[in-house]
C-alpha cells in the first residue's frame, strides 16, 4: 500500500513515522505541497493519498486522482468540508477521516482562549516583558458562578461542559440532539434553544457542525441577543461566525472578549508562514483589539492527538488494503 501524504510538516512526519512500525505493508512518501488540482498529478503510481483540512479536494482534484488510479482519500482530520463527497462517490473513491482524535485537547484550548481573552493574559505578558507592571485595561470577569453556553454537545462540547463545571459554572447546552446522559450526570444543567442560550450565557463556545443552516449563526442578530460583555469562543468552524458582525460586536462592547482559533477568511493562511508578506487580513483587525486572542487552527495540536490521528489514518489504510471494516464512524463515503 503506497500512500502520498500531501501538505506535510515536520510534526506530521514524526507522528506517522513513529506508528509505521506496526504497519509493515504500508509505505509513505511525504510532500510539503498541499493537495490541489495543480499537485494532484504527483499521486501517479500511488494507491492512496492523505490530506489535511486545508487541502483542495474539489471535483477537479478528485477527477485527476481517479485518473491516476487513486481509490482512497485519507483525510487526517475530523472535518471533510474540503472534499466534494458527491464527486468522490461518483468516481468510486473511498474517503475517510479521523472522527474524534482528541476532544479534550480542543476543549482545553477553548477554555484557554476564553481565559486568555477574558483576563487579558497576552496583553499583560507583553507589558511585563517591557517592564510595565501597571494593571490599567487588564480587568476581566470571574467565571465561577457564571453561565456557560455550549453550542454543540458532541464529544468536544461535552468535554468543555465538564471543564466549565470544574470552574463552578452553570452549563447550558444547545444541540439538535440533546444528550440525556450529560443531563443525568449533571454535566449540563439544561438544554435550551439558541436564543435562550444567547440571552443567558456569560461565556459562549461554538462546537456545532458547519452546514447551510449553521453558517454565520453568529451574526448581528444573534449577537444583539447576547449579554453585554459576553465571552465568545470559536474552535469549531470559521464559517459559524460572520467576522464583520463579530468585529462590530467587539467595537460596540456587546462582546467583551473573544477567543478565536478558526475564522471564516482563514483559508489562505491555514498553516502557512506569511510573516514576510503584506496582506490585507481580518486577523490584523482582530488582533488589534486587546480583548481578542487568536491562534492558528491549533486547538487539536497535542502529542496525544497527533498519535491518534496517525493510528486511525493508518488503520483505515490497512483496512482498505485488506478489504476489512474501516475505523468506526470514520467513513465519509
Residue identified by cell 461554538 is 206
- Report the CATH architecture of 2-101+302-322: 3-Layer(aba) Sandwich (3.40)
Question: Binning pLDDT at 50, 70 and 90, where does residue 102 land?
Answer: confident
Report the pLDDT value the prediction gives residue 176, as an integer from 0 to 100: 93
Active-site annotation holder among 109, 207, 237, 311: 237
* 211 φ, ψ (degrees, to nearest 5): -150, -175
Beta-ladder partners of 260: 234, 294
- Write down the catalytic residue from 94, 97, 297, 311: 297
Confidence class of residue 269 from pLDDT cuts 50, 70 and 90? confident
- The CATH code belonging to domain 103-294 is 3.40.50.720
Would you tell me the crossing angle of helices 103-118 and 121-129 to the nearest 10 degrees? 60
Q: Is the pLDDT of residue 2 over 80?
A: yes
Model confidence pLDDT, tens digit, residues 208-234? 988 889 999 999 999 999 999 999 999
Domain boundaries, the chain: 2-101+302-322, 103-294
Most confident of 218-227, 270-279, 286-295: 218-227
Query: Mean per-residue pLDDT for 304-308?
Result: 95
For residues 73-102, average pLDDT: 93
- Give the span between the Cα atoms of 92 and 293, in whole angstroms: 43
pLDDT computed for residue 29 by the predictor: 97
| Same topology between domain 2-101+302-322 and domain 103-294 | yes
* Amino acid 49: pLDDT: 98
pLDDT for 238 equals 92
Mean pLDDT for the chain overall: 94
For 161-190, b where at least 16 C-beta lie within 10 A, e where not — what string? bebbbebebbbbbbbeeebeebeeeebbbe
> What pLDDT is stored for residue 186 in this prediction?
97
Q: Work out the pLDDT band at 47, boundaries 50, 70, 90.
A: very high
pLDDT the model gives residue 229: 98
237 given a catalytic annotation: yes
CA torsion, ordered 261, 264, 266, 268, to nearest 10 deg: 160
Q: What is the pLDDT of residue 273?
A: 73
Q: What's the rounded mean pLDDT across residues 267-286?
A: 76
pLDDT of residue 64: 98
Residue 264 has a pLDDT of 85
Report residue 79's pLDDT band, with 50, 70 and 90 as the boundaries: confident
Q: What whole-number distance in Å separates Cα of residue 31 and Cα of residue 304?
A: 23
Longest CA–CA span in the chain (Å) reads 64
At residue 271, does pLDDT exceed 80? Answer: no
Question: In this predicted structure, what is the pLDDT of residue 114?
Answer: 98
- In angstroms, rounded to a whole number, what is the distance separating the alpha carbons of residues 2 and 70? 10
CA atoms within 13 A on the CB side of 111: 20
Lowest-confidence segment of 25-39, 112-126, 266-280, 299-313 by average pLDDT = 266-280
Q: Has 63 been annotated as catalytic?
A: no
Distance CA 38, CA 41 (A): 7
Mean pLDDT of 320-333: 94
Res 54: pLDDT:
86
Per-residue pLDDT reduced to its tens digit, 147-178: 999 999 999 999 999 999 999 999 999 999 99
From the candidates 19, 94, 120, 266, give the one annotated as an active-site residue.
266
Amino acid at each position: 500500500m503506497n500512500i502520498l501524504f500531501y501538505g506535510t510538516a515536520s510534526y506530521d512526519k514524526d507522528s506517522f513515522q513513529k506508528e509505521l512500525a506496526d504497519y509493515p505493508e504500508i509505505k509513505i512518501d511525504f510532500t510539503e505541497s498541499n493537495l490541489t488540482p495543480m499537485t494532484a498529478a504527483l499521486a501517479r503510481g500511488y494507491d492512496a493519498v492523505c490530506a489535511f483540512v486545508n487541502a483542495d479536494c474539489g471535483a477537479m482534484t478528485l477527477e485527476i486522482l481517479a485518473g491516476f488510479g487513486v481509490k482512497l482519500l485519507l483525510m487526517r482530520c475530523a472535518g471533510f468540508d474540503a472534499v466534494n463527497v458527491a464527486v468522490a462517490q461518483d468516481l468510486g473513491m473511498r474517503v475517510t477521516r479521523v472522527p474524534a482524535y482528541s476532544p479534550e485537547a480542543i476543549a482545553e484550548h477553548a477554555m484557554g482562549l476564553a481565559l486568555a481573552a477574558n483576563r487579558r493574559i497576552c496583553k499583560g505578558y507583553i507589558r511585563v516583558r517591557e517592564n510595565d507592571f501597571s494593571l490599567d485595561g487588564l480587568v476581566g470577569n470571574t467565571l465561577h458562578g457564571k453561565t456557560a453556553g455550549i453550542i454543540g454537545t458532541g464529544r468536544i462540547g461535552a468535554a468543555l461542559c465538564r471543564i466549565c463545571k470544574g470552574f463552578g459554572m452553570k452549563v447550558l447546552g444547545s444541540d439538535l440532539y440533546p444528550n440525556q446522559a450529560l443531563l443525568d450526570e449533571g454535566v449540563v444543567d439544561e438544554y435550551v434553544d439558541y436564543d435562550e442560550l444567547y440571552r443567558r450565557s456569560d461565556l459562549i463556545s461554538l462546537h456545532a457542525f458547519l452546514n447551510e443552516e449553521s453558517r454565520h449563526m453568529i451574526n448581528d442578530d444573534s449577537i444583539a441577543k447576547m449579554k453585554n460583555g459576553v465571552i465568545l469562543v470559536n474552535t469549531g468552524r470559521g464559517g459559524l461566525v460572520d467576522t464583520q458582525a463579530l468585529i462590530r460586536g467587539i467595537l460596540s462592547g456587546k462582546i467583551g472578549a473573544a477567543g478565536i482559533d478558526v475564522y471564516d477568511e482563514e483559508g489562505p493562511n491555514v498553516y502557512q508562514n506569511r510573516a514576510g508578506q503584506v496582506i490585507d487580513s481580518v486577523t490584523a483587525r482582530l488582533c488589534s483589539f486587546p480583548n481578542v486572542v487568536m491562534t492558528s487552527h491549533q486547538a487539536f495540536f497535542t502529542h496525544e492527538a497527533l498519535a491518534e490521528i496517525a493510528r486511525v489514518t493508518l488503520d483505515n489504510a490497512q483496512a482498505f488494503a485488506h478489504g476489512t471494516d474501516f475505523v468506526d464512524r470514520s467513513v465519509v463515503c
